[in-house]
């Protein structure tokens, strides 16, 4: 006796294929984030002024955010099409070696981004508006 097994939604299939495409750019985006981090570290070591550090910190944050989005897309694509509609399938996929690897990478990138936002971007006072 065969049971009715519902297919995944069309929206889930579309999102799955979109995530696969986005995740292909992950290595390049991760390299870009590493280069931005290296630039920020070099500027700190050289004793650059706060304006340069602010620009480098923001560039690093932007690169990390792009890499994080690609990693999250890779994580969702690794979980499979069913995981878009079913939380149980998502939870089971997280327990696989590939799912655990992507989950760890996403958490690592989130931690790096939060650390950069808290301590890597210097606080520069806003200029006072000129009064006549």
For residue range 4-29, what is the model confidence (pLDDT) as tens digits?
666 888 899 999 999 999 999 999 99
pTM: 0.85
For residues 82-117, one letter each, b for 16 or more C-beta atoms within 10 angstroms of the residue's C-beta and e for the rest, the string is bbbebeebbeebbeeeebeebbebbeebeebbeebe
Q: Which two tokens stand for residue 81?
A: 């099409």
Q: What is the pLDDT of residue 1?
A: 52
Phi first, then psi: what are they for 95, rounded to 5°?
-85, -10
């Amino acid at each position: 006796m065969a049971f009715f097994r519902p297919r995944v939604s069309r929206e889930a299939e579309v999102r799955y294929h979109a995530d696969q495409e986005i995740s292909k750019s992950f290595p390049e985006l991760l390299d870009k984030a590493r280069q931005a981090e290296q630039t920020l570290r070099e500027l700190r070591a050289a004793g650059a002024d706060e304006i340069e550090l602010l620009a480098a910190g923001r560039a690093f944050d932007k690169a990390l955010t792009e890499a994080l989005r690609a990693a999250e897309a890779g994580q969702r694509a690794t979980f499979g099409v069913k995981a878009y509609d079913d939380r149980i399938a998502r939870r089971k996929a997280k327990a696989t070696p590939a799912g655990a690897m992507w989950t760890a990478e996403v958490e690592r990138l989130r931690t790096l981004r939060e650390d950069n936002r808290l301590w890597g971007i210097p606080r520069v006072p806003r200029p006072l508006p000129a009064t006549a």
